[in-house]
Amino acid sequence: MGLPELWFVIIAILWTGFFVLEGFDFGVGMLHRVLGRTDRERRVAINTIGPFWDGNEVWLVVGGAGIFAAFPDWYASWFSASYLAVLLLLVALIIRGVSFEFRGKVDGPGWRRLWSGTLMTGSLVAPLVLGIALGDLVAGLPIDADGEFTGSFWDLFTPFGLWTGVTLVVLCLVNGATFLGIRTTGELRERAHRAARLIGWVGLVVVAAFAVWTLVVADHGWAPILPLVVAPVALLVSIGAVHRERDSSAFLLSATAMACAVAGLFAALYPQVLVSSTDPANSLTVANAASADYALKVMSVVALIFFPLVLLYQAWSYFVFRHRLST
């Protein structure tokens, strides 16, 4: 395995990590107003992700910056092609990010409703857009020989991209519900259980269809098969764990389903990084989009030093805030 391949794997890990971690806080963001009936319950729901969401979002920033550094052509083509979609993603992340801090700062029902609304909207739109954009990488976009996008905004809505977006949103919802299950008590926790079961069954169908579709679209290699088979199975077992009120298992299993879905997508993409629907010869690949060896070597060393550190202190922060919050 050469350095470009290593960096493809690192980027896949970063994006998978992002969806596993930020996935549940997107889910809590979408669910907090539905599952929380009183303002107190809604605040508790938000506070379950309070210490984590910002650190989780950095996985996306590093995932993006990693693509910039390791595969500049991929970064340039993907984000300029998805221009308005990325704009929508940014607006969603902006209004969502400020709502955590802003919502609790003024005590009034209108104010709280406003920032609950932005939190929900942002938490829904961000994974949807990211899912569409990731699906587009596999499904292909009209890209010319210079790596430039030749299509229009509507070309971004590939059927497979849309389904990827829906899949990730549903998985975020399930993860949000199972996460609330491990961090809340009483009625809020029971409602989270109900939501996890209900959305879990819907998610099972969605994820199974996604797994089959991905294997059909990416008609090469065996690598995606394993994660894409595991994803729906993990989700099914997770629903069972919710039934038996095994909260930790339920969350770990639904997180596994998310991890496998995203990892399967990246496995299906490899060795390409952005498929050209115009002409397969225009597709960006790990080989033709990568930076030179020296830059990749430097970043590998930096990643080797800092990535384990990051995992350690992030894990520690999850350990510190492991207890349930009571309503």
**Interface residues for other proteins in 26-85 (CB under 8 A)?**
40, 43-44, 46-47, 50-55, 57-58, 61-62, 64-66, 68-73, 75-81, 83-84
Residues 316, 44: Cα–Cα separation, whole Å:
21
User: Considering beta carbons, is residue 131 or 232 the nearer one to other proteins?
Assistant: 131
From the CB of 142, what's the least distance to other proteins, in Å?
10
Start-to-end C-alpha separation, the chain: 51
Q: Residue 75 or 160: which CB sits closer to other proteins? A: 75
- CA torsion through residues 317, 169, 165, 241, sign: positive
Q: How many residues at the interface with other proteins, by CB under 8 A?
A: 75
Closest CB 50 distance from other proteins, rounded Å: 5
149 binds other proteins (CB under 8 A): yes
Of residues 185-204, those binding other proteins (CB under 8 A): none
CA distance 137 to 274: 5
Q: State how far the Cα of 30 lies from the Cα of 51, in Å rounded to an integer.
A: 17
Q: Which residues, in sequence order, are CB contacts of 106 under 8 Å at separation 6+?
A: none
What is the CB-side half-sphere exposure of residue 249 using CA atoms within 13 A? 12
Q: Is there binding between residue 321 and other proteins (CB under 8 A)?
A: yes
- Residue 147 dihedral angles phi and psi, to the nearest 5°: 85, 10
Q: How far is the CB of 181 from other proteins (least distance, A)?
A: 17
Choice between 137 and 261, CB closer to other proteins? 137
150 binds other proteins (CB under 8 A): yes
205 interacts with other proteins by CB under 8 A: no
Interface with other proteins includes 6 (CB under 8 A)? Answer: no
Among 145-153, 195-203, 213-221, 233-241, which window interacts with other proteins (CB under 8 A)? Answer: 145-153
- Minimum gap (Å) between residue 121 Cβ and other proteins: 12
The correct pick among 34, 94, 145, 202 for binding other proteins (CB under 8 A) is 94
Using the rule CB under 8 A, is 303 a contact of other proteins? yes
For 123, the enclosing helix (H) or strand (E) is: helix 109-139
Q: Which stretches within 220-292 are classed as H helix?
A: 225-243, 247-269, 286-289
Tokens of 117: 């609304």
